[in-house]
Amino acid sequence: MGAAEERLARNEAFFREVNERINDVARGFGGDGDKYEFLCECVDLRCAERIPLTLAEYQAVRADNRRFIVAQGHVIRDIEAVVERDDDHEVVQKVGVAGDVADGLGPN
C-alpha cells in the first residue's frame, strides 16, 4: 500500500498548493474575521468542494504539515485520522507513509 498512500498524499498536496496561493492573496484584503473559500484538500483531484475559513483557521491547520482540511465525508481512513470536526469540514492528520510524504512536501 506504500505507493498508493504516497500518490494519495501527493494529490492532497496539490490542493494544499492552491490553498497556499488563496491564503497569500487573502492576507492582502480582509480582516481577521473575514472568511475565504479554500479548496477541500482531499485525495480526489476532481473534487471542487469549497470550505469557508478565516485566515487564522486555515493557518492553524497549516501549522502541521501532516494536517489537511477536507469536506465532511472526504476522509480516507487508511491514510488519515480525523483530529477536528466542524459543521462543514474536518481536519485530518496523515498517518504512516502518507504522513511521511506530507512532512516531506511541506514548508515547515
> Lowest-confidence range among 12-21, 41-50, 63-72?
12-21
Secondary structure, 3-state, the chain: CHHHHHHHHHHHHHHHHHHHHHHHHHCCCCCCCCEEEEECCCCCCCCCCEEEEEHHHHHHHHCCCCEEEEECCCCCCCCEEEEEECCCEEEEEECHHHHHHHHHHCCC
Per residue in 69-99, pLDDT (tens digit) is 999 999 988 889 999 999 889 999 988 877 8
